Amino acid sequence: YDFEGKFQLMSLIALAIAALPLSQSAAADIARAEQTRLNACIQQSETDAEAAFEESLRWLGEGARPAARYCNAMALLGLGNYKEAAVRLEELASAPDAGGLGDRAVYLAQAGNAWLVAGYSDAAIVSFSDALKISPEDPQILTDRGAAYLGTDQIDEAIEDLDAALAITPNSVDA
């Protein structure tokens, strides 16, 4: 029987178990740093969209993680490039690493709004409908899709969405 080999294996397992909290802590630190960077990018996209766009390109060069791709889409929105931002948000929503369903619904709803501002009401309806598949009771998405329906002269569908939004939030000014 190889006691020395068994001891070495047990030592390696013990080291791996001891390192697990450290790696979990490091992962949490990385996630916090990434969130801080994303928040800064979103704020910058509202005040200096060109600088935010440049930052997003640097970040994408470091690795196209979801937060970097989201930063890029927000910077494109800030630059007024709504169509490209909508495409990036839709791509992010369907990416395997996009996060949870709530994140995906947000990306799709934001894509819908970008399409709407860009003048593509039909594309907006598709994005909002996809978001509603994830969050069917979201009154803001219903209201936004109602606006998109109005943009395509689909009055009955618009009324249906706006009525549904009002049923959820009766005092909604938007609906």
pLDDT band at 4 (very low <50, low <70, confident <90, very high): low
CA distances from 94 to 55, 98, 99, 100, 175 (A): 23, 7, 10, 11, 28
85-115 pLDDT, tens digit each: 999 999 999 999 988 999 999 999 999 999 9
Chain mean position to CA 20: 29
